Structure 1
């Protein structure tokens, strides 16, 4: 059964969640995402709890419990000028970090070195930190896809589902895997996605039907119009079921440009779902907006 059917919608209904990733990354990103959440431009956001500005994002979220804010499970630290490491303090985390004590720069090194037991402790610690700061945590997802086994085939989804089941949180995992083009993934990858979704089902964790986003890396000379056309294409080809679209929005400031390699792209993503053409497309396609809170309620049988 699709997640949409489990929520009580029809077999042809197309439901959409728009999530702003990387809340807590820096002050500029926080200000941008807060604005989008308050204005209802995005459905939700997820906080990178290990980051230096996570506390600001979490305390703001605690003051706005009616908005959907989750935990962006973070196990990588990809920029040179700004780094972060584990929040878990109750035991060893050496398999998760470099000699400097920061998370690995890339997913491949994380997959190769991480001990599952340490990953599980860090997952729980990131949720606990958000709860301790007063966040009404609605869901969880994953920064850079580090937990999916995308590089070496070594995933940590069992640990993820254990922690999500413990805290009653749905998780960003697509039941049906699509390529960036929106086409169905090759059979082997599609089968793996279905198997992981079935594992989530067996552990009582609600997952998505589909997961989409703009290409992760910007094309040379990419403009806002190019990005908008890509998003219009995505919205015009949504499949029936629950889809999440991922954004990485931020105000573009000196702070962001000091460490980020493509700051202007994050600024353009701030504007996408404010754009009248995007909003008109959502209406014309009959796409139904929902929230992660709906999935959490389903999981908890609220």
Structure 2
């Protein structure tokens, strides 16, 4: 059986390789690596907002997404009013993972009791959401987060999922995709060859087939589709040294980005990161400050920019790929 799965995965991989990538379908040159350099967790804190702005204004990041239930959303909404071309989507949020710094669902507990834990916040883990929340409650919260954005004059360029919660069950994913198609908003979904994301998830042949089918459905609905996801930077290991200087953190993070981007296959790939400029308060929110600072420093590193230019990697945004897809109708 294992040999059969390996053979089937190889067949699917070969089939993907023979087909045009979604990047090619969108009009990018054949064989090109086309990247959306994407900052998650905007609106979570002041530090997150500062990191996202610096990564885009001073670095090579091109896109971001906002956690609408979080306390520092208004601060970023005010920034976007001054910078309306910011490529900003919704980081659809169904968990509240930190110990002391938390947020609840926008739809409210009476409308979706399955989304709320005993502290009145969203559940800390994806498994808890799966165990307690219904697909109807999840969809209601997705729509509430979209409505808050629109009420503030913010039309998102795309939708994606905080902690991958919306990919946890077929029912959750169905509602996520449904809202995107209904509203003509692109959704983060690696529907192409998915080489890197499938390697990190140890996916089987059935998963590969479902990915391809879902990607085709989104494409037929008029939305752009990703070929792959680069979602590995949160696993970069900074633990070997306790007292690293910013220069050392930057050098390490940049080297890891260059290494892992080099492993990507041609196509449209979203590179996920969590650029943060940690203040003295951030350690009271999370112990992930060094990883997040590494993401930010790498994005601002001239060496990463030189590598991207040398390798003729194309940087794009969700707004651009949506516009390209619209012109093809």
Same fold (TM over 0.5): yes
Match of residue 227, structure 2, among 209, 217, 240: 209
Match of residue 229, structure 1, among 255, 278, 293: 255
Structure 1 partner of 2:135: 116
Mean Cα deviation higher: 177-186 or 135-144: 177-186
Aligned partners of 1:181, 1:126: CA distance in 2, in Å? 29
Structure 2 partner of 1:162: 178
Number of aligned residue pairs? 299
CA contact (8 A) 1:182 1:212 kept: no
**Cα offset for 1:266?**
1.1
Match of residue 194, structure 1, among 199, 212, 232: 212
TM-score (norm 1): 0.90
Q: Deviations over 1:19-75 (max 9, x none)?
A: 110000101111121222233531011000010111211221132111101110000
**Aligned with 1:216: secondary structure?**
helix
Structure 2 partner of 1:244: 270
**Cα offset for 1:207?**
2.3
CA contact (8 A) 2:275 2:294 kept: yes
Q: Deviations over 1:225-259 (max 9, x none)?
A: 33322211122222111011011011111221111
Show structure 2 runs of 5+ residues with no match: 1-19, 242-247
Structure 2 partner of 1:23: 42
**Cα offset for 1:203?**
4.1
Aligned partners of 2:154, 2:224: CA distance in 1, in Å? 20
CA contact (8 A) 2:222 2:326 kept: no
CA contact (8 A) 1:47 1:58 kept: no
Q: Tell whether 2:195 aligns with 1:178.
A: yes
Structure 2 partner of 1:281: 307
**Cα offset for 1:289?**
1.1
Kindly tell me: are residues 115 and 183 of structure 1, through their superposed partners in 2, closer, same or farther at Cα, counting changes over 3 Å?
closer
Aligned partners of 2:102, 2:52: CA distance in 1, in Å? 21
Aligned partners of 2:198, 2:173: CA distance in 1, in Å? 25
**Cα offset for 1:97?**
1.3
Q: Deviations over 1:189-240 (max 9, x none)?
A: 3333223323433544332111103343453326623332221112222211
Specify which structure has the higher proportion of helix.
2
